[in-house]
Structure 1
Amino acid sequence: MCMPLPGTVQPEKMESYANGAKFDCLLFDMDDTLYPLSLGINLACRKNIQDYMLNKLQIEESQVPKMCLDLYREYGTTMAGLKLIGYDFDYDEFHASVHGKLPYEKLKPDPVLRSLLLSMPQRKIIFTNSDEAHAATVLEKMGLEGCFEGIICFETLNQKNPGDTSAGDGSGKRVLCKPSLESMEAVVEIAKLDPKKTVFFDDSPRNIASGKAAGFHTVIVGSSALVAGADVALESIHNIREALPELWEAGGDHAVDIRSAAVAETTVLA
């Protein structure tokens, strides 16, 4: 259930704003969306996944690169593919191995993005395939704490059943993640969204297509050209105001001052 956080927009104020607004929620992917692909964190993450496949899962070295990419393309994430084809491993161990050695020092505070986010009166939520710890680290390194109402992440969509204390979670288990339409529908339910009044920002054409199928207004980030299902293309997340001025319109006298959100704690939505 999504609970209001200290310093965030209160429900009655949000409703007043939403009544006159075209959009009332902004759903953001995180990696390669809030920061550029050119930082190289994506490549470092892929290398760490391949190292895990080689050293922990004992997959033949010559097969690892192609297998890593093929599983990503087929199942949304390499982890999801590995689980479905029968590899048994602990989710937390996988995430720690993949994200624990990332070059987080490449992420710097982004006061321009922070200012943009805090100036928009809509609800703002992170929707990422990554785990909670990685999401929290990225937001901290970028100085974006308090800019989002919450985080929908791996743990949100893949909660253990009550009483399940198994470490590996079993092989052959389906992982719910983007770009599946089911993951989009789950987010709508978890965050209580109206898809028609939600803007979805993502760098992946596959995710954008699924977001459009779910009914979102879609924005491809990191590209100056539209892709299938995208309503808007942003070369940089910093171009939001120029490309989507309506996000600052229609609030009228009900527009919400959310500068106090700068001190809010972002939590995982479940």
Structure 2
Amino acid sequence: MPIPVSRRRRPAHRGGGPVWLFDLDNTLHSASHAIFPAINEGMTRYIIDALGIGRAEADELRLAYVRRYGATLLGLARHHPIDPHEFLRVAHAMPELRQMLRAERGLARLIDALPGRKIVLTNAPEGYARAVLNELGIERLFERIIAIEHMRRRGQWHAKPDLAMLRHVLRAARVRLAEAVLVEDTRSHLKRYRRLGIGTVWIVGHLVAPVRGERDGRGERRAARMPGAGRPHYIDSRIRSLKSLRRVISRSSHALD
């Protein structure tokens, strides 16, 4: 049976383009300044309450599961008797979401102008993703949202950068790997998915300045140099702004500049 992916009636799109797979946080909007800190705090507080441990241990557990599994939820669901849906609800409860959002000027126009299909692919829950897209005024531009609830298979939770999961959800969405282009801020996701032959665009404009030795919201230890520096071999294009997607040349093979 096809995976139950959230979708709307498919928007009209200009033919000849790729299938754009957009990450959500720090890709379609800036999450670093307010939203990531709020999510991290919500996750930590849930872990404290659910497991009865102290803040320091809860923070370390949250980061350890991000590093090991790609998402805190996956580690919690595997090793602890928690309610995954309740965890996602608590961690992404943001009554002040509108005030917390920051995005590029003319975002809807930029995305609408891109040829091809557009899909959101996020490790966030669907309710949060839909709320963000609604506040940004761009939900109508995407044919579907593939959120973490849609990445489950055979009762098991999965998340980016799981390879089998991506194959599965793209097959359900009738997307060939050769025509997909992932636009993402997390370099490790792009590195892993490049193995499948998809196009990779690294957006760096929302990454925060590093503090030596400190770990970011995904558990990666920040380097001393500025974030977004260089362009690794597995990155087809490195951009600071979604405006630059207009310079990403799409051919039948979707070779990127």
TM-score per shorter chain, which class? 0.7 to 0.9
Match of 1:87 in 2: 80
Match of 1:9 in 2: 12
Note if contact 1:126-1:148 (Cα within 8 Å) is conserved in structure 2: yes
Return the alpha-carbon distance in structure 1 between the equivalents of residues 28 and 229 of structure 2: 16
Return the alpha-carbon distance in structure 2 between the equivalents of residues 91 and 57 of structure 1: 14
Return the alpha-carbon distance in structure 2 between the equivalents of residues 58 and 99 of structure 1: 21
Note if contact 2:28-2:103 (Cα within 8 Å) is conserved in structure 1: no
Match of 1:55 among 46, 49, 58: 49
Matched, 1:234 2:239: yes
Return the alpha-carbon distance in structure 2 between the equivalents of residues 178 and 129 of structure 1: 6
Identity %: 25
TM-score, normalised with respect to structure 2: 0.78
User: What is the identity, as a one-letter code, of the residue corresponding to 1:125?
Assistant: I
Note if contact 1:139-1:145 (Cα within 8 Å) is conserved in structure 2: yes
Q: Which has the higher contact order (CA 8 A, sep 6+)?
A: 1
Structure 1 pair 102–175 and aligned structure 2 pair: CA distance change class (3 A): farther
Structure 1 pair 158–209 and aligned structure 2 pair: CA distance change class (3 A): same
Structure 1 pair 174–237 and aligned structure 2 pair: CA distance change class (3 A): same
- My pick for the range that moved more, 42-51 or 58-67, is 58-67
User: What is the identity, as a one-letter code, of the residue corresponding to 2:94?
Assistant: K
Give the RMSD, CA atoms, in angstroms.
2.5
- SS of 2:158's partner is coil
Note if contact 1:205-1:228 (Cα within 8 Å) is conserved in structure 2: no
- SS of 1:146's partner is helix
Residues 221-257 of structure 1 deviation map (CA, whole Å, 9 limit, x = unaligned): 113532352111112223222x31x25x89xxxxxxx
Match of 1:218 in 2: 200
User: What is the identity, as a one-letter code, of the residue corresponding to 2:151?
Assistant: L
Return the alpha-carbon distance in structure 2 between the equivalents of residues 228 and 78 of structure 1: 28
Match of 1:42 in 2: 36
Matched, 1:147 2:120: no
Match of 1:112 in 2: 106
Higher helix share: 1
Residues 126-161 of structure 1 deviation map (CA, whole Å, 9 limit, x = unaligned): 0011111001111011111211011011221126x7
- SS of 2:140's partner is coil
Return the alpha-carbon distance in structure 2 between the equivalents of residues 232 and 109 of structure 1: 21
Structure 1 pair 109–202 and aligned structure 2 pair: CA distance change class (3 A): closer
- SS of 1:36's partner is coil
Note if contact 1:132-1:155 (Cα within 8 Å) is conserved in structure 2: yes
TM-score, normalised with respect to structure 1: 0.75
Structure 1 pair 206–54 and aligned structure 2 pair: CA distance change class (3 A): same
User: What is the identity, as a one-letter code, of the residue corresponding to 1:193?
Assistant: V
Count how many residue pairs are aligned between Structure 1 and Structure 2: 225
Note if contact 1:201-1:218 (Cα within 8 Å) is conserved in structure 2: yes
Return the alpha-carbon distance in structure 2 between the equivalents of residues 6 and 228 of structure 1: 37
Return the alpha-carbon distance in structure 2 between the equivalents of residues 71 and 52 of structure 1: 14
User: What is the identity, as a one-letter code, of the residue corresponding to 2:20?
Assistant: L
- SS of 1:200's partner is strand
- My pick for the range that moved more, 148-157 or 32-41, is 32-41
Note if contact 2:6-2:144 (Cα within 8 Å) is conserved in structure 1: no
Match of 1:31 among 4, 13, 25: 25
Note if contact 1:26-1:198 (Cα within 8 Å) is conserved in structure 2: yes
- SS of 1:210's partner is helix
Could you list the runs of 5+ residues in structure 1 that have no partner in the other structure? 162-172, 251-270
- SS of 1:74's partner is helix
Match of 1:71 in 2: 65
